[in-house]
Chains A and B, each alone.
Chain A
Amino acid sequence: MNRFVVLTLNGLTQGAIYAAMALALVMIWRATQVINFAQGAMAMFTTYLALFAIDHGAPFWLGFTVALLSGFVLGGIVERVIVRPVESAPPLNVVILTLGLLLFLEALAPMAFGGQIRSFPPAFSIVGLRFGNAQIAFSPFDAFTLGGVLAVMILLLVLFQRTNLGLRMRASAFSPEVSRLLGIRVGRMLTLGWALASLVGALAGVLIAPSLLLYPTFMDQVLVFGFTGAVLGGLDSAAGAVVGGLLMGFALNYVGGYLGSDLETVGALVILIAVLMVRPRGLFSSQRLRQV
């Protein structure tokens, strides 16, 4: 099959996962102006929990649910226990705390689950679909990955744009003080925001684990690419995060496919620098609008 098509399809699937990670980072950034550097490690940990359930006889779907639910709970706990106490401290404090959490989780995982590299069973075949005699580089699991990310994004969009709860969450992110004057329990909204973001991160982890293999630092590069995508998109725009994540998926695959796979990471950085030189606020940032 045409190489370009193969690279594009791979880019789409991987990009969906980077988009999920980027979205998780952007949701937390918008809610609390924190870059959660532990997002990848948290997703790693929840993916291990899913594998732990599957190892003990749970079907894939139960493991999948375990990953998402534990992501939700872990995100809420992290906000309450780690982020909340330093809410009014200088922003650097919380950055250092998320880095500390990253190291802690990556040290805890081998102790809890063993340090060896594990494979993660996919729910569907990872062999490319066949159309007649032609096999394409798009497997049922890729379709599941795309569909899963898309479904979660649509649900989040509905939550934020169409429900009163989502309205409260957006208000809390834009102006905690005004929101509190309107009787909104802002603290709960921020906890919920972290919990939901961390669920989206956990989704990225459990979806990419079958193709990356599972080990304590396996999400680090996903975090870096997701973060790059989020910055490309402008960091405060959910749509930007999704587009930025997808762009990263495509770009990394084209660079890896045409220029050599050892250039992938460098290529990503070159793209980031190039875009930020032309548009320092990122592609989708509404900063200028909001300053009016």
Chain B
Amino acid sequence: MLEVIDLTVAYGPVVALHGISLTVADSSITAVLGANGAGKTTLVRTISGLVRPRGGSVRLDGRDISRLAPEEIARLGVAHVPQGQGVLAELTVDENLRLGGLWRRDRKGQRGALAEAYELFPPLATRRHLAAFTLSGGERQMLSVGRALVARPRVLLLDEPSLGLARRALIQIMARIKALVAERGLTVLLIEQNARSALSVADEGIVLHLGKVVAQGRAQQLANEEGLRHAYLGY
């Protein structure tokens, strides 16, 4: 279980998150919605340790991880797919994927995980030995997500996976992630601009506005609240 408790984050004098709290249950998907500048990316960057919070805590199964280094948080099974430039462009597709799970030191398991990633994203398999900068935007996004899955994470933080991805590929990725949620108890925090598609796959939803939580609840309920949709979700 991933818990964010009264989290406050500031960049110098600019407060990005004002005492946010949320809980993501095991084996579930929580969508974080909101406009640009709402604090969505700051939230995931703080959970994965890239940003130090000013106050509050992040707990993974009850353990406070908010003061750990990002690499140690990753080694606890928290995989973060960063927005946009997440692939190591100079390395090959295969090297990028392998890097995902190197910390596990489990060669056999990793070979299986790698094969699964190629199976899930056939375009990557055909470009296995090409440098990642030769990939299209959508293929890079596949690589980024595939690499996170190779780590066989317990918690997956997805920051705008739809960016640059064709609709069909996005549906395919989300179907795979839903399967992992059901089969392996994966916990997912999904950041999205596109609220409609995010709420359609998520169990729970949370809406941020200027660093504060303005709505929280079952995804289905949020999707049905017309006022909320008009005010914050833009559809």
Q: Which residues from chain A sit less than 8 Å from chain B, CB to CB? A: 164, 167-168, 170-171, 174-175, 177-186, 286, 289-290, 292
Contacts and interface: CB of A to CB of B under 8 A. Distances in A.
Which 10 A-B pairs give the minimum distances between C-beta atoms? A183-B103, A183-B74, A180-B70, A180-B71, A183-B75, A181-B80, A292-B133, A182-B99, A174-B88, A174-B90
Contacts of B102: 164, 167-168, 182-184
Contacts, number: 73
Given A171-B99, A183-B102, A183-B103, A178 B88 contact: yes
A182 B48 CA distance: 10
A292 B89 CA distance: 9
B234 interface: no
Interface string B27-53: 000000000000000000000111000
Contacts of A170: 90-91, 95
Given A183-B74, A184-B102, A171 B91 contact: yes
A181 B82 contact: yes
Interface in B50-100: 50, 69-71, 74-75, 79-80, 82, 86-91, 95, 98-100
A185 B99 CA distance: 12
A181 B90 contact: no
B71 A184 contact: yes
A181 B91 contact: no
Q: How large is the interface on B (under 10, 10 to 19, 20 to 34, 35 or more residues)?
A: 20 to 34
**Chain A contact surface mostly:** helix
A181 B48 contact: yes
Contacts of B100: 182
Contacts of A286: 90
A122 to B, nearest CB: 40
B99 A167 contact: yes
Contacts of A177: 50, 70, 82
6 contacts: A167-B102, A170-B91, A177-B70, A180-B70, A181-B48, A182-B147
Contacts of B151: 182-183
A289 B95 CA distance: 18
A184 B103 CA distance: 7
Nearest to A167: B95
A274 to B, nearest CB: 29
Interface of B: 48-50, 69-71, 74-75, 79-80, 82, 86-91, 95, 98-100, 102-103, 133, 147, 151
A290 B82 contact: no
Contact of A183 (B50, B71, B88): B71
A290 B99 contact: no
A176 B133 CA distance: 17
A179 B69 CA distance: 12
A107 B69 CA distance: 39
Nearest to B147: A182
A183 B100 CA distance: 8
A269 B71 CA distance: 44
Contacts of A289: 133
A289 B100 CA distance: 24
A179 B103 CA distance: 11
Given A168-B102, A175-B88, A183-B151, 15 more contacts: A167-B91, A167-B99, A171-B99, A174-B90, A177-B50, A177-B70, A178-B82, A179-B88, A180-B50, A181-B79, A181-B86, A182-B103, A184-B71, A184-B103, A186-B71
Contact of B133 (A167, A186, A290): A290
Contacts of B70: 177, 180-181
Nearest to B157: A181
Nearest to B80: A181
Nearest to A170: B91
B74 A167 contact: no
A186 B161 CA distance: 25
Contacts of A182: 71, 74, 99-100, 102-103, 147, 151
Contacts of A181: 48, 50, 70-71, 74, 79-80, 82, 86
Contacts of B103: 182-184
Contact of A174 (B75, B80, B91, B98): B91
A227 B80 CA distance: 39
A168 B102 CA distance: 8
A182 B80 CA distance: 8
